């Protein structure tokens, strides 16, 4: 039995989330169906990062175990079966004890905003036509590097052992009428990034002082956080692993 990581990217607009759910089209469900069609057997998948409904991914992973011979030609075969909104980018053999979720050392996300109406960004970026102070936004983001407990930014009914996250990058940038928030961490809580973005934008608009922002972080109370930020502006951009990938033939 060998273990493989399968790298995917996808437009999340048409999916009810990443992980298989009853009566909803999901990324995992679509890929498992495609693999069943190709390999003529059920191959369960384990996912690396569970993106919410409507969230996109430039890079995400599953792993699976099989005795079948897996070749690079199967990348083309799977893409021919999958809907256009999901693409298999790579399949690599890994050690049999490698785990795509627990072995990840860093996850990176980008949240995209545009301040001028743009039909080509519809469904890919949040249209936010309000004056924003980028300097204040960055000052708010800098505060995140001083904290590890982000219980305030975890949605209710989330079962986790810890709310600690090691954020190593939190950066706002602007290109013309587009604004980007980039963040790296070893892990993220459910709804965390959308809550961070929505609440920091209050700082950027002068609705929340930096002192009040610090209090929100320390409060450990999700009721102080704006989780209304839409999913379609959020992208899982990269997942980093130890260097144990092996190319398949």
| CATH code (residue 191) | 3.30.70.660
Mean pLDDT of the chain: 94
31 shares its domain with 150: no
92 shares its domain with 160: no
Could you list the active site residues? 52
20 shares its domain with 48: yes
175 shares its domain with 213: yes
- Rounded CA gap, 84 and 91, in Å? 18
Cβ pair 141, 181 in contact under 8 A: yes
The answer to whether residue 155 scores a pLDDT higher than 90 is: no
Q: What is the DSSP letter of 224?
A: G
Which string of DSSP letters, residue by residue, matches 45-90?
Answer: -EES--PPTT-EEEEEEEEEEESS---THHHHHHHHHS-TTEEEEE
- Residue 248 forms part of a structural domain: no
Do you know the residue count of the chain? 249
Specify the 3-state DSSP secondary structure of 163: coil
Residues above pLDDT 90, as percent of the chain: 88
The total number of structural domains that make up the chain: 2
121 shares its domain with 95: no
- Residue 201 forms part of a structural domain: yes
88 shares its domain with 190: no
Range of the domain at 34: 2-103
147 shares its domain with 126: yes
Report pLDDT digits (tens) over 233-243: 999 999 999 88
98 shares its domain with 114: no
Catalogue the long-range contacts made by 212-215 (C-beta closer than 8 Å, 24 or more residues apart). 213/140, 213/143, 214/143
89 shares its domain with 122: no
- Residue 169 forms part of a structural domain: yes
Cβ pair 110, 93 in contact under 8 A: no
What pairing do the DSSP bridges indicate for beta strands 167-175 and 86-94?
A: unpaired
CA end-to-end span of the chain: 17
The answer to whether residue 102 scores a pLDDT higher than 60 is: yes
Where among 78, 103, 128 does a domain terminate? 103
Residue with tokens 């792993």: 63
Summarize the confidence of residues 36-46 as an average pLDDT: 95
Where among 103, 128, 158 does a domain terminate? 103
60 Cα distance to chain centroid: 8
- Cα dihedral sign, 193-199-202-208: negative
Q: 105 CB contacts (<8 Å, ≥6 apart)?
A: 186, 240, 241, 242
79 shares its domain with 112: no
Cβ pair 232, 124 in contact under 8 A: yes
- Residue 243 forms part of a structural domain: no
125 shares its domain with 36: no
126 shares its domain with 152: yes
Where among 85, 103, 121 does a domain terminate? 103
* CA angle in degrees (0–180, nearest 5) for 196-197-202: 100
The whole model's pTM is what?
Answer: 0.93
- Rounded CA gap, 180 and 125, in Å? 10
Summarize the confidence of residues 131-135 as an average pLDDT: 96
- Of 30, 200, 12, nearest to 123 by C-alpha is 12
């Amino acid at each position: 039995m060998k273990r493989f990581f399968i790298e995917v990217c996808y437009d999340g607009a048409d999916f009810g989330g990443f992980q298989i759910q009853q009566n909803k089209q999901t990324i995992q469900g679509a890929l498992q169906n495609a693999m069943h069609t190709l390999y003529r057997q059920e191959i369960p998948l384990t996912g690396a990062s569970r993106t919410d409904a409507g969230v996109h991914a430039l890079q995400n992973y599953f792993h699976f175990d099989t005795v079948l011979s897996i070749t690079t030609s199967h990348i083309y075969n799977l893409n021919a079966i999958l809907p256009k909104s999901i693409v298999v980018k790579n399949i690599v053999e890994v050690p049999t004890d490698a785990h795509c979720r627990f072995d990840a050392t860093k996850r990176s996300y980008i949240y995209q905003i545009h301040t001028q109406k743009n039909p080509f960004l519809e469904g890919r970026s949040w249209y936010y036509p309000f004056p924003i102070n980028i300097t204040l936004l960055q000052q708010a983001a800098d505060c995140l590097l001083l904290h590890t407990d982000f219980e305030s930014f975890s949605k209710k009914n989330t079962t986790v052992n810890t709310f600690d996250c090691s954020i190593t990058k939190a950066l706002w940038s602007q290109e013309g009428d587009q604004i980007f928030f980039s963040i790296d961490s070893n892990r993220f809580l459910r709804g965390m990034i959308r809550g961070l973005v929505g609440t920091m934008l209050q700082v950027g608009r002068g609705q929340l002082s930096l002192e009040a922002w610090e209090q929100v972080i320390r409060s450990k109370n999700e009721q102080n956080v704006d989780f209304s930020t839409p999913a379609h502006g959020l992208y899982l951009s990269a997942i980093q692993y130890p260097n144990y990938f092996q190319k398949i033939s």
